A and B are shown apart, each in its own frame.
Chain A
Amino acid sequence: MDSWTLLLDGFATALQPQYLMWAFIGVFIGTAVGVLPGIGPAMTVALLLPLTYTLDATAAIITFAGIYYGGMYGGSTTSILLNTPGESASIVTAIEGNKMAKLGRGAAALATAAIGSFVAGTIATIGLTLLAPILADFAVSLGPADKLALIVVAFITVGALMGRSVSRGVLSLAIGLFIGLIGTDNLSGQQRYTLGMPVLGEGISVVLVAVGLFAVGETLYVAAKLRQGGVDVIPVTKGWRNWMTKDDWKRSWKPWLRGTAIGFPIGTIPAGGADVATFLSYAAERKLSKRKDEFGRGAIEGVAGPEAANNAAAAGVLVPLLTLGLPTTATAAIILFAFQSYGIQPGPQLFTNQPALVWALVASLYLGNLILIVLNLPLVGMWVKLLQIPRPYLYAGILMFAAFGAYAIRFSIADVVILLVIGVLGYFMRRYGIPVAPLVVGMILGPMGEAELRKALQLSQGDPSTLIMQPFAAAAYGVLVVLVLGALWLRRRQTRYEQHLTETIAVPITADQEV
Chain B
Amino acid sequence: MSARLIGARGQAIGASGRAEETRPAPRVPVGELVFALLMLVLGALALIGAFSIHIPVGIQVGPTVFPIAVSVLLIATAAAVVVGVLRGDRGEPDDGEDIDSSARTDWLTLAKIVGALIAHLLLIEAIGWAPAAAVLFGIVAWTLGAKRWWLGFVIGLVVALAVQVVFGGLLGLSLPWGPAFAWLGGMF
Contact = CB atoms under 8 A, between A and B. Distances in A.
Contact of A188 (B9, B49, B56): B56
Given A225-B106, A408-B173, A457 B60 contact: yes
A228 B6 contact: no
B99 interface: yes
Contacts of B17: 495, 498-499, 502-503
A54 B169 CA distance: 12
Contact of B103 (A188, A225, A396): A225
Contacts of B95: 86, 509
A156 B18 CA distance: 27
A170 B58 CA distance: 34
Given A225-B103, A450-B66, A171 B78 contact: yes
A178 B70 contact: yes
Contacts of B56: 188-190
B49 A170 contact: no
A301 interface: no
Contacts of B100: 225-228, 513
A433 B90 contact: yes
Given A167-B81, A446-B70, A506-B7, A78 B146 contact: no
Interface in A490-515: 495, 498-499, 502-503, 506, 508-515
Contacts of B71: 178
Interface size class of B (residues with CB under 8 A): 35 or more
Contact of A221 (B80, B96, B125): B96
B128 to A, nearest CB: 12
Nearest to A83: B97
B110 A54 contact: no
A462 B61 CA distance: 7
Nearest to A428: B35
Interface string B62-99: 11011100110110011011001000011111111111
Contact of A178 (B42, B142, B160, B163): B42
Contacts of A506: 6-7, 9-10, 13
Contact of A392 (B15, B36, B43, B152): B152
Contacts of A224: 105-107, 109-110
B141 A396 contact: yes
A404 interface: yes
B146 A392 contact: yes
Contacts of B78: 171, 174
A416 B144 contact: no
B175 interface: yes
Contacts of B171: 53-54
Interface residue SS majority, chain B: helix
Q: Most chain-B Cβ atoms within 10 A of its Cβ — which of A85, A174, A193, A407? A: A174
A330 interface: no
A405 B2 CA distance: 43
A430 B74 contact: no
Contact of B137 (A400, A420, A457, A461): A400
B143 A223 contact: yes
Contacts of A25: none
A188 B173 contact: no
A478 to B, nearest CB: 22
B147 to A, nearest CB: 8
A407 B129 contact: yes
B156 interface: yes
B98 A222 contact: yes
A413 B36 CA distance: 29
A482 interface: no
B77 A174 contact: yes
B172 interface: yes
16 contacts: A165-B84, A165-B92, A171-B36, A171-B39, A188-B56, A218-B96, A224-B106, A226-B106, A393-B155, A400-B133, A401-B163, A431-B93, A432-B36, A433-B93, A502-B13, A510-B13
Interface of B: 1-2, 5-10, 13, 15-19, 31-32, 35-36, 39, 42-43, 46, 49, 53-56, 59-63, 65-67, 70-71, 73-74, 77-78, 80-81, 84, 89-107, 109-110, 113-114, 116-118, 120-122, 124-125, 129, 133, 136-138, 140-147, 152, 155-156, 159-160, 163, 167, 171-176
